[in-house]
Amino acid sequence: MIKKWEFYKTDPSKVDEIAERNHISQLLAKIILNRGLEQEDEIKAFLNPQITDLNDPFQLNDMDKAVERILKAREQQERVTVYGDYDVDGITSVAVVYQFLKELGMDIHYYLPSRLEEGYGLNNEAILKIKEQGTTLLITVDCGISAASETSYAKEIGIDVIVTDHHECPEVLPEAIAVVDAKRNDNTYPFNALAGVGVAFKLIQAIAYKLELDRKSYLKYLDIVCLGTVADIVPLVKENRVIVKFGLMLMKETRNVGLKAIILQSGYHKIDSSMISFGIAPRINACGRMGKADLALELLLTTDEKKAIEIAEQLGTINKERQEAEKSIIDEAIKLIEEKKLYEDNVIVVGEHGWHHGVIGIVASKITEMYYKPSVLVCFEDGIGKGSGRSIDGFDLHDALTYCGGDLLKFGGHEMAIGLTIQEEQFEKFRKDINQYAEGKLIKDKTPTIMADAEVNASMISMEHLKELQVLEPFGEANPVPVFIYKNMKVDGIRLLSNERHLKLILKDNTAIYDAIAFNMGEMQYSIKVGDKVDVLHYLEVNHFNHTDKIQLNVKDLKKSL
């Protein structure tokens, strides 16, 4: 697929100004400007985040009410249940609040709904079960903001509810003792992009403030808070950047035996945001997707090293099962798309019996990436279909489902990702209706765009430059790894790896020679050859091999030079 390359638009005079004021290279200054940072205080906070940059948790609406009710429960030894979600954000949120309150001597318990049997969020059956076990206070983490009827039900049967969440708020908030969410319309908190675990962290921080505890009492959980924050793909700026920066530092010497075990099991040697995104998060998320979220939570809560290693190995096995299920569905989905020529539609809608609905969201993401079109995948069982959809920039998938609402039993989500339930007999009508809605949206004319930070040459690539760029870490949403364009490089060698899936290249510019790796670009073997001049869109990394460090270009896209 042809991709469009674009540079961020920056004012050269501002680049010079930022470089001079902060005693940094123009390349680093340009990247900082590309990230939307211009004010001196913002730049200093970004380049050198401090733990003191954490905001006062009591600036969050209703935080005082939440703390007061929790401390009352502590005083009266009430049974308290923390209710979370089955993804990494939800599991880490439960772990943080549960462990902190347990250390305060509270009668604390937790509940994670089953993705496969209960679905997301609060449900009345679970609330009744929790009530029958003696709970009088329910604390939601990473969920609850849209559970108005369930919260009312809890109140009717004698359970007080504290909602902590980070999702978009409805016009009418749940009728709870406290609703702590920085996305409230009346929000007074200076940062509204915390993950669910970030809000959970602010809750324990506030309790520690109120009890005048040492700050170590809550900061020691930053490794777990960091894990959930990176995994939930929230913007790694401002307070999230502080959480992740110091969380990664703590993770390197973590005392959480479960976290230590899963880091070891992941096989990653460098502890950074990439390790979380590609090594740890998939293993924990796989548990939720396969209906075993409690196992991942148990890993983070255990103090038994032997047990932690056993659970981490189980998570690795479950993740492999998830990968196998995912690959099987991808293969079947692509076959259906190609046979029925669904790629000609504006929105690719495909469904089948026997698909695992815990992984179809991942598959939908890959289908959308492959065809660069919105996609909806549905798995059917007993006449009911459960589906997930992913979109592309410029097409609001939630609006599309609203248009097709009459075809669906229920749906939810946002512009880029949705979930739905549909009767099987309505499936074909839904496919036609959503494509009718998409007519005129120019989807077929859309081209994926990759943003580049700067054009580079040999004089700008060195270990010293890479070391300077490390100040930009941790990388993630809203602070991506810097991407560069290097033009007119000569292909000096080509080698295929992993059953011809990847390319290993030797690229040359006069006397400068670089190794390059192009993952999942094996098909390029048919369009480029040794001796060709190419433009390379890439990011820079250090390849550790045989006790030697060498700069490597990680290729995101490749084009023949004009």
DSSP state of 51: G
Do 113 and 209 belong to one domain? Answer: yes
Inform me whether the pLDDT recorded for 178 exceeds 80.
yes
Residues facing 397 on adjacent strands: none
Q: Say whether both 516 and 468 belong to one domain.
A: yes
In a domain, 88, yes or no: yes
CA angle 435, 441, 443 (to 5 degrees): 80
Cα distances (angstroms) measured from residue 47 to each of 42, 44, 171, 369: 9, 5, 38, 33
Burial degree of 554 (CB within 10 A; 0-12, 13-18, 19+):
middle
* Residue 473 in domain: yes
Res. 346: pLDDT tops 90 = yes
Residue 186 has pLDDT above 90, yes or no: yes
How many structural domains compose the chain? 3
Q: Predicted confidence band at 445 (pLDDT cuts at 50, 70, 90)?
A: confident
3-class state of residue 448 by DSSP: coil
Instruction: Select the more confidently predicted residue: 416 or 118.
Output: 416
Please identify, among 411, 445, 479, the residue that sits at the C-terminal boundary of a domain.
Answer: 445
- % of the chain exceeding 70 in pLDDT: 100
109 occurs within a structural domain: yes
Residues found in the chain: 562
pLDDT at residue 412 is higher than 90:
no
In a domain, 185, yes or no: yes
Q: What is the pLDDT of residue 330?
A: 95
Q: Are residues 440 and 462 in the same domain?
A: no
pLDDT digits (tens, 9 = 90+) for 82-107: 999 889 999 999 999 999 999 999 99
Q: Which residues contact 472 (CB under 8 A, 6 or more apart)?
A: 28, 31, 32, 479, 482
Same domain for 389 and 473, yes or no, is no
* Sheet architecture: strand order including 178-180: 107-111, 79-83, 135-141, 160-164, 178-180
Q: Are residues 460 and 440 in the same domain?
A: no
Residue indicated by tokens 């550790």: 544
Q: What is the pLDDT of residues 462-484, one digit of tens each?
A: 999 999 999 999 999 999 999 99
Q: Confidence class of residue 547 from pLDDT cuts 50, 70 and 90?
A: confident
**115 pLDDT higher than 90:** no
Q: Are residue 465 and residue 524 in the same domain, yes or no?
A: yes
Report the CATH number that the domain containing residue 484 is assigned in CATH: 2.40.50.460
- 372: pLDDT strictly greater than 80: yes
**Are 454 and 512 within one domain?**
yes
- Cα separations (Å) of 394 from 365, 436, 448, 449? 16, 17, 11, 12
> How many Å apart are CA 137 and CA 61, to the nearest integer?
19
Across the range 514-536, mean pLDDT stands at 93
In this structure, are 532 and 439 located in the same domain?
no
Is 100 a domain residue? yes
Which pLDDT score is estimated for 117? Answer: 79
- Per-residue pLDDT at 121: 82
- Picking from 413, 445, 477, the residue at the C-terminal end of a domain is 445
User: What is the 3-state secondary structure of 13-49?
Assistant: HHHHHHHHHHCCCHHHHHHHHHCCCCCHHHHHHHHCC
Q: Nearest Cα to 322, choosing from 367, 301, 292, 277? A: 292
Say whether pLDDT at 171 is over 90.
no
Task: Give the residue-averaged pLDDT of 220-225.
Answer: 98
Neighbours of 14 (CB within 10 A): 14
Distance CA 211, CA 206 (A): 9
pLDDT given for residue 546 in this prediction: 77
Judged against a pLDDT cut of 80, whether residue 182 lies above it is answered with yes
Instruction: Tell me what pLDDT residue 441 has.
Output: 87
Question: Does residue 405 sit within a domain?
Answer: yes
Instruction: Write down the pTM of the prediction.
Output: 0.90
Res 120 pLDDT > 80: no
Q: What percent of the chain has pLDDT over 90?
A: 85
Looking at residue 320, its amino acid is: K
Question: Over 90: is that where the pLDDT of 201 sits?
Answer: yes
Q: Are 548 and 535 in contact (CB under 8 A)?
A: no
The answer to whether residues 90 and 164 belong to one domain is yes
Last residue of a domain, one of 425, 445, 465: 445
Same domain flag for 440 and 463: no
pLDDT interval class at 537 (50, 70, 90): very high
Angle, vertex CA 167, rays to CA 161 and CA 168, nearest 5: 105
pLDDT at residue 68 greater than cutoff 90: yes
Q: Is residue 76 very low, low, confident or very high in pLDDT (cuts 50, 70, 90)?
A: very high
pLDDT mean over 287-291: 85
Contacts of residues 359-362 at CB distance under 8 Å and 24 or more positions apart, as own/partner, are 359/289, 359/322, 359/325, 359/326, 359/329, 360/329, 360/386, 360/387, 360/388, 361/388, 361/390, 361/417, 361/419, 362/289, 362/326
What CATH number is associated with residue 215? 3.90.1640.30
pLDDT at 187 over 80: yes
Please, what is the average pLDDT of the chain?
Answer: 94
409 and 423 share a domain?
A: yes
**Separation between Cα atoms, residue 492 and residue 515, nearest integer Å:** 10
Where in the sequence is the domain holding 543, given as residue range(s)? 4-8+450-560
What residues pair up with 191 in beta bridges, in sequence order? none
CATH number of the domain that residue 392 is part of = 3.10.310.30
How far, in Å, CA of 283 to CA of 278, rounded?
9
Please report which confidence band the pLDDT of residue 20 belongs to, taking 50, 70 and 90 as the band edges: very high
